Structure 1
Amino acid sequence: MNFFEKMKQLTGVDLNDVQKQAVRLTEGPLLLLASPGSGKTTTLNMKIGYLLLVKKVKAENILAITFSKASAHDMEERFELFFGKLTRDRVAFSTIHSFAYKVVREYFWKNQINYQLIEGNAPEQLHKKVMIRNLFTEQMKTAPTEDEMEEILSYISFVKNRMVPDDQLSKVACSIKSAGKIYQAYEAFKRQNPQNLLLDFDDMLTYCLDILQNDAEIRQKYQTLYDYVLTDESQDNSVVQHEIVELLAAPKNNLCVVADDDQSIFMWRGADVKKLLQFQQTYPNGKVLTMAQNYRSTKEIVDTANVFIKRNKNRYDKTMFTENRQGEKIEIHNMRRYDLQLNYVVEAIQKAEKPKEVVVLYRNNSSAIRLVDLLEKKDIPFYMKDVDVKFFKHWIVEDILNFMRLSYNDKRVDILERIYSKMNAYIKKAQIQQLLRTEEDASCFDRLLKNVHAPYQEQALRKAKKNIREMNVLPPDEAIQLIRDKLGYDKTLINRAEHLGLNEENLLSIVSQLEHIAEGLPDLAAFANRLNELEEIMKTSKFNKNENVATLSTMHSSKGLEFDTVYMLDLVDGVIPSKDDVKAYKNDEPEKMEEAVRLFYVGMTRARHHLELLTYNQKDEEKTQPSAFIEDVKKIMLGEKVGELKLTDRVEEKAPQRAKTTITNKAYQQKKVRDIPEDAIKDARDLQRGTLVQHKVYEQGFVKKVDGNEIEIMFDHYGIKKFMVDFCLQQGMLRPVTNK
């Protein structure tokens, strides 16, 4: 009985011909291109088992490198499942960072060099973020915002992982003009004492590569030790990681690289798909095999995704296929407004028989905030993969809370100091300094009125004082509107975006999200508490990981996962593809746009049976346009040819005029009728001002206003919500409430 027959008998794993070929090819370089759902983890484990059981290779002579700790753990579990009873040998599954750290520690010990890690649990005074914050302040003469900190940290990591030389630093895109100088100052600071180096996590990689290149003893030790090197998820490896793997595998070059160039989505972390595309240039005698059979998804999903990804030019020419059944059509929903998208998804999760088999995907973490708010209000538990709560620490959130704090006590100079430049009261820094130097039990505004710096400031200060005090008795959503309009905060954000090179829409979107969270809350204190609640809810959602609940995830974090049902949200131009993607594409720099295509493809291929793509025409006051990728999917489903150009024909055009009555596409309008309650309101004439109604999501309320095809309903617990009349009637969203 051969190895494959034995494995089939013992484990139930029946490899296809390409998978068997990949397992048998043990000598020399091999690039194994693995399409989504093609069984790459199983094949890689079988290859390791083949090396141990058939080729009689010692476990310590095999190095298996994975992208993340989670991947390493998954590989170990699979290996134990397949081979735990067949051999006592255990191959080391290691992340590239873990291996690099091992090499670095060995080199430092050998050369008696002391070092200190400055990430993770490092002391605060020696922490990477503290150093960079100080260097930023020193260089820019102002403390960085959270956005700027995130950008400079990403810039530094990218530069290291891409091995960008100093004379090319200015060519790396970054809105912070002195990013290169801050990076160089940071590196110099860490190396100022050669016998006591400071190291961040990226340094593990750069030092490891330098050691392998220049220390012949250590290099030869590991090259001799590892006869076989296997790497998983190699499309995610950065340039420096690829270089380390190539050095380790040499000179025998018994290297198996498992990757999918179509799923390379971490360019911003330094990943470079070009290294995969140049595999046969690096290894002229190397072989390339393609595992293109998808075992995960229905034929409809596989065929559509396969055509969609082919629009990218910089990729291996391959055709993903499946022998699975045809399945349901992909559904595309074009909602009139953003909030209808959220309502729809929440209702779908409520109805799901197996919520654990449902995932909601979005490109940006900010998309999750209002979704989490609505899920919690409906008492629907969820699991959030890779929780990111930076939103609640954002300087805009802090600004809004400070305006509210000042409304409780406008004598607080310390609070006014944080926001005086963000309201239209024409307050000067010198005036604030004067207030701080003197103590007086009076309103800051009254004190400022004693010494105005210009005639027009007197009127502005009186208005500001009135508005700040009025804010205290308003519902929080109206208080935020007052901050935005009467205190001029929106204008401040627009000006800051222009002067600092920030994304204006993103900044205004944060305030809009706060306004929506505030809806229906009784007072400002309740709003502040709600933000704390949401942050805690998101953090603790990790404890629901193995429960029967829906998953929320960014598209990036979803790679490697699969679900019966996938909802992809916020599929609008400006989000995916982003404005930066489009700008680069127009400048004949296709890399970002191609990665956006790959990201969309990754999202689509998470679905086994049911895939829904959601877009909308308006978010808050902003008109939006459905993603160009949505149009491509529509064409593919209709059998139309998706042109070579025109990755995004519509991106090049002005936004088309939309019919005001557009609500959803045909597929959405034909949604299962059996879900509509028998007593649902089906006639617009039954919706009059004052009518009591029961909504599927928001429960009981009364009709406040009907204006053409739009209806306003005041709900008992959620405040005023607006809906499309046609949508409510067609979907049976409203039922009559009879007065008793």
Structure 2
Amino acid sequence: MIEEINKATESMGTATKLMSTATKLMSTATKLMSNEVKKIVYRDDQLPIMQYRGGSMAVPAVPGAGKTFIICNLVCEIIKDKVHKPGKILIVTFMNSAVNNFKHRISMVLQNKGINASNDYEVMTIHSLALKILKDRPDVMGVNEEFKILDDVNKSLYLNNCISMWRRKGGEGIFKSMILDKSLNKYSGKQDKWWNDFFTTVDTIIGELKINDISPEKLKENIKSLDNNSILVHISEIYDTYSKILKSEGYIDYNDLLILAYKLLKTDDTVREKLQKKYTFVFEDECQDSNLIEGKILSLISKKSGNLVRVGDVNQSITGTFTASDPKFFREFCGKANNAFKMFMAGRSTNHIIDLANELVEFTNNKHGEEKCRNALVDQKIKSLDDEVETGQDNYGISTMVCNSREEETKKAVRVAMKFKEKFPGKTCAILVPFNNQVREIADMLRSYNVECDELSNKSDKKIKVTSTLGYILKFISNPQDSVIFTDLIKNVFCEEHNEESEKLFGFICSYDVEKLMYPSCGTINELDIPGEILNSKVYKQLISSMDLIKRIFKYPQTHFDRLILYISDVLNFTLENRAMSEAVASYVRFESIENSEFSLAYVAEQLLDGKNSILDYISGIIYDLEGYEPSPDRVTVSTCHKAKGLEWDCVLILNITSYQYPYMTTDKFKDYYYLKDEFKNPTVICRAEIAKILGNNICEDPLKEAKIQIINEKIRLLYVGITRAKEYLILMATQSNEGKWNEDKPSKYFYVLQDYINSQRGVL
């Protein structure tokens, strides 16, 4: 199979050269067209959008169509024509990195046009906008003017603490009563994983309650009719505790921020009219990720002018099953907007990859076995920018692989990625997987072959470095006489290189008295005790300098562990990002110390070195979100498919396209809460159905089956996102094994559909 990939990559050589030549010609043409003010030539599908000067407009766009490009240039044209006067243009997006990108690109376009208009537009996240609205009149909403925003990092700590309090008051027994009898004997081994699932459910449902304006008090009134075994009844207790703690400490979380901003806009004429006058045009990017309240806020601001532009791609909506976002809101807007212009042309990928993505859309729309899944993807096919490119078999850069086990699949993926980098050192490459754990596994394997890589997952290597550094230091402080612990500290934190010299140093440290090393009686270590081969080595000098840092840390009082952690980050001169992680760890330690009889430095160190701490994983996923990440040809990217959204690589390998990861029918085995009793099998879905009942909405007869439909739909879109990340080469991988308990290790139906199409294109019978 490796030979097949080699053949594929070799056969693409001609196409690559042609594309390179075309790129050079295009570059030359661009330079010739440039003058004092750069001239921009818009595509046919972009021209109607650029003519927009008012009203509501929906812009559904395919991957690689240039959404950011068109928004930036349209905003600049409106500014140039002064259509927005006397107000401003508001551009709303969801990531801070996207805000900075928009600001930079708009500034550059205006500069090229010779326009100075920095005060004519504002770019911000939806939460920054909500904060700005609420700060205008917090008193109207009964909020103290000194209110603080609870960011997602501290929110996870507060919420986890509330769950811990509920567990101590009987929640542990309640949770166990939901578990299947045959699974209870696995509880001690799976406890952390299962409680992490419960945390995710609680977090999601509290978000749903807030977005739907259901307060703890309102929820208490409405759950009286529910069975005492209802998960929502138990979550209501946690929700009540969480809300009271936030209120007592003057915090509001991001969901509170959105709902309070919306209520203020809706009820206060002065605030609403002020914003409507200020922002005469409103643009929203990534609209497929909007929730109900976000859409209402932007609709209220733009109501007077009527000038609202929303841009997005429903086919890339991949967060609805675990957030309050829903692509239906963008679909509805597309149906009622004054104008809707599709951007269906894209130049990111080769024609072959575009055709494959379109094949997935075609199959889903017309042939999917579950009729309710036929609208998972909008019939919005990508049209290549260059239909004249030859599409012969010799230039085909797409392959499929079926492996006998996940282990074999992982090894083959690593070998293929390494082979690709050898052949094309100047091109980017990514391996996309479903799980965070697989990201780390594959990254470790690449590093074992001395291949540099970047990890895009919640289990960030940066997080592990920070937590392990703190863990090793605290472990040594808790037991400063142990030479083995001291050796581990030097080896894992302070030694930059591991070689023959360092191994000799570690052997020396391990056999030497720690106190004599750290605090020699004569002021310096007796050089006669030190092996001559390491005395003048680089690693010995590192040891001496590291001991100076350790001594400084030892001098700090150990009465407050959280402060000690922050002091360590200062002494070790952590980066701003790593400092944020250490502050989160300090907060975590502060929360853990509450009513924890086992709390000690050794206990803290054990938690930090665990590597499976779900709360710290969750926190690291927030802090190390890799906003603004740019793939580099020097490094292989290993990512979950979710984290890959918005990025692109020359070569993409998508692993685990199995029926378990990408289910096709509702009768397939799903990655659900298998350990729970049937009546609790999908607690998030059950709670959402009960919330719908409280709101008086229509309730489907079988919410669990409906949830499976939604999961299937989102998984189709996730596969679509993965495919459209590839520019030139794409390798689809799956396993075929009879060892899985539910036979989940078999290729998904989508894999076979795409494989058949690929073979037909390559002329294989």
TM-score range, shorter chain: 0.5 to 0.7
- Give the number of the structure with larger relative contact order, counting CA–CA contacts within 8 Å between residues 6 or more apart: 2
* C-alpha spacing 1:9/1:187, structure 2 compared with 1 (3 Å): farther
Q: Is the 8 A contact 1:65 1:232 kept in 2?
A: yes
Given the alignment of the two structures, is residue 133 of structure 1 paired with residue 185 of structure 2, yes or no? no
Map 1:7-22 → 2, pairs under 5 A: 10-11=37-38, 13-22=40-49
Instruction: Report the TM-score when normalising by structure 2.
Output: 0.58
Of 675, 689, 714, the residue aligned with 1:595 is 714
Q: 1:320 aligns with which of 368, 382, 403?
A: 382
Equivalent in the alignment of 2:77: 50
Say if 1:68 and 1:95, in contact at 8 Å, map to a contact too. yes
Residue matched to 2:441: 370
Which among 632, 638, 645 is matched to residue 559 of structure 1? 645
Aligned to 2:326: 272
Residue identity matched to 2:714: E
CA displacement, residues 427-486 of structure 1 (integer Å, 9 cap, x when unaligned): xxxxxxxxxxxxxxxxxxxxxxxxxxxxxxxxxxxxxxxxxxxxxxxxxxxxxxxxxxxx
Alignment of 1:300-699 (within 5 A): 300-310=352-362, 311-312=364-365, 313-314=374-375, 316-324=378-386, 325=389, 326=391, 327-351=395-419, 352=421, 353-354=424-425, 357-388=428-459, 548-577=634-663, 579-580=669-670, 587=705, 590-618=709-737, 623=743, 624-637=745-758
Q: 1:118 is matched with which residue: 135, 150, 153?
A: 150
Which of the residues 287, 291, 294 maps onto 2:339?
287
In structure 2, distance between residues paired with 1:631 and 1:246: 44
Match of residue 261 from structure 1? 314
| Cα pair 2:206 2:239 within 8 Å, conserved | no
Deviations 1:109-149 (Å, cap 9, x if unpaired)?
6667243433357599x834323432454461469833322
1:625 partner SS: coil
Shift of residue 280, structure 1, vs aligned partner:
5.2
> Which has the higher mean CA deviation after the structures are superposed, 579-588 or 80-89?
579-588
Single out whichever of 126-135 and 157-166 deviates more from structure 2: 157-166
For residues 633 and 351 of structure 2, what CA distance do their matches in structure 1 show? 29
Shift of 1:13: 3.7
- The 3-state SS of whatever aligns with 1:556 is coil
Distance across 1 between alignment mates of 2:729 and 2:407 = 22
What are the residue-to-residue correspondences of 1:726-737 with 2, within 5 Å? Answer: none
**Partner AA of 1:558 in structure 2:** A
Structure 1 residue 239 corresponds to structure 2 residue 292 = yes
In structure 2, the CA distance between the partners of 1:50 and 1:343, relative to structure 1 (3 Å rule), is same
Secondary structure of 1:208 counterpart? helix
Q: Is the 8 A contact 1:72 1:94 kept in 2?
A: yes
Asked if the contact 1:65–1:94 (Cα under 8 Å) also holds between the matched residues in 2, the reply is yes
Letter of the 2:43 partner, please give it.
N
Q: Shift of the alpha carbon at 1:318?
A: 2.7
Q: Tell me the SS of whatever aligns to 1:80.
A: helix
Contact persistence 2:428–2:631 (CA under 8 A)? no
Give the AA of the match of 2:333.
F
The answer to whether the 8 Å contact 1:191/1:198 transfers is: no
CA-CA distance at 1:250 after TM superposition: 0.7
**Which has the larger displacement, 129-138 or 75-84?**
129-138
User: Alpha carbons of 1:234 and 1:598: their partners in 2 closer, same or farther (altered >3 Å)?
Assistant: same
Question: Hey, what's the Cα distance between the residues in 1 that align with 2:305 and 2:452?
Answer: 52
Q: CA deviation at 1:102?
A: 1.3
2:239 to 183, 186, 189: 186
Paired with 1:600 and 1:335, the residues of 2 have a C-alpha distance of: 19
Change (3 A) 1:342 1:287: same
SS in 2 for 1:576: coil
Q: Which amino acid aligns with 1:30?
A: M
Return the offset for 1:17: 2.2
Q: Deviations over 1:212-235 (max 9, x none)?
A: 112222111111211000000100
Shift of 1:106: 2.1
Cα 1:544–1:223 change in 2 (3 A) is closer
1:10 Cα offset (Å): 4.0
CA offsets 1:378-434 (integer angstroms, 9 cap, x no match): 2221112244259999xxxxxxxxxxxxxxxxxxxxxxxxxxxxxxxxxxxxxxxxx
**How far off is 1:292 after superposition?**
0.4
TM-score (normalised: structure 1) = 0.60
Quote the Cα distance in structure 2 between the aligned partners of 1:104 and 1:389: 34
**Contact (CA 8 Å) 2:439, 2:456: kept in 1 or not?**
no
- Shift in alpha-carbon separation, 1:340–1:386, aligned structure 2, 3 A: closer
With over 3 angstroms needed to count, the CA separation of the structure-2 counterparts of 1:381 and 1:258, relative to structure 1, is same
> Using the alignment, how far apart are the partners of 1:167 and 1:570 within structure 2?
41
1:57 is paired with a residue of what secondary structure? coil
What letter is aligned with 1:631?
Answer: Y
SS at match of 1:610: strand
User: Could you tell me whether the CA contact under 8 Å between 2:641 and 2:718 is conserved in 1?
Assistant: yes
Contact 1:161–1:240 (8 Å) recurs in 2: yes
Q: Secondary structure at the match of 2:104?
A: helix
- The residue number in structure 1 matching 2:131 is 101
Write the letter of the residue equivalent to 1:609.
E
Change (3 A) 1:586 1:354: farther
Distance 2:284 2:670 in 1: 32
Query: Is the contact between residue 88 and residue 122 of structure 2 (CA under 8 Å) also seen in structure 1?
Result: no
Relative to structure 1, the CA distance from residue 93 to residue 306 in structure 2 (aligned partners, 3 Å threshold; closer, same or farther) is same
State the Cα distance separating 1:22 from its structure 2 match: 0.5
Name the SS for the 2:288 alignment partner.
helix
Deviation at 1:257, TM superposition (A): 0.5
**How far has the Cα of 1:151 moved from its partner?**
2.9
Q: Deviations over 1:21-45 (max 9, x none)?
A: 1121121110001101111111111
- Specify the SS of the correspondent of 1:258: strand
SS at match of 1:573: coil
Higher helix share: 2
> In structure 1, what residue type is equivalent to 2:318?
I
The code of the aligned residue for 1:28 comes to: G
Shift of 1:78: 2.0
* Structure 1 residues 206 and 60, CA gap change in structure 2 (3 angstroms): same
Once the two structures are superposed, residues 672-706 of structure 1 have per-residue CA deviations (whole angstroms, 9 ceiling, x without a partner) of: xxxxxxxxxxxxxxxxxxxxxxxxxxxxxxxxxxx
Quote the Cα distance in structure 1 between the aligned partners of 2:168 and 2:296.
35
Rounded to whole Å, the distance in 1 between the matches of 2:205 and 2:427 is 37
**Paired letter, 2:349:** S
The answer to whether the 8 A contact 2:276-2:302 is kept is yes
**1:140-155 aligned within 5 A:** 140-141=171-172, 145-155=195-205
* Aligned mates of 2:323, 2:647 — CA distance in 1: 20
Report matched runs for 1:31-42 at 5 Å: 31-42=58-69
Q: Quick check: 1:581–1:596 contact (8 Å CA) kept in 2? A: no
Q: Which runs of 5+ in 1 are unaligned?
A: 171-175, 394-527, 641-664, 671-740
Q: Say if 1:100 and 1:137 are closer, same or farther in 2 by CA, change over 3 A.
A: farther
For residues 201 and 380 of structure 1, what CA distance do their matches in structure 2 show?
40
Aligned to 2:117: 89
In structure 2, the CA distance between the partners of 1:198 and 1:182, relative to structure 1 (3 Å rule), is: farther
**8 Å Cα contact 1:363-1:576 kept in structure 2:** no
Cα deviation, residue 191, structure 1: 5.4
Could you tell me how far 1:276 is from its partner in structure 2? 1.7
Q: Matched residue of 1:290: which SS?
A: coil
| Residues 220 and 557 of structure 1: CA distance in aligned 2, closer, same or farther (over 3 Å) | same
Within 2, Cα distance between the matches of 1:666 and 1:320?
A: 23
Residue 19 of structure 1, CA deviation: 0.9
Q: 1:388 to 1:163 in 2, by over 3 A?
A: farther
Task: Measure the CA separation in 1 of the matches of 2:250 and 2:339.
Answer: 42
- 3-state SS in 2 of match to 1:608: strand
Unaligned runs of 5+ in 2: 1-31, 176-191, 224-228, 366-373, 465-607, 673-681, 683-701
Report how far residue 296 of structure 1 moved.
Answer: 0.7
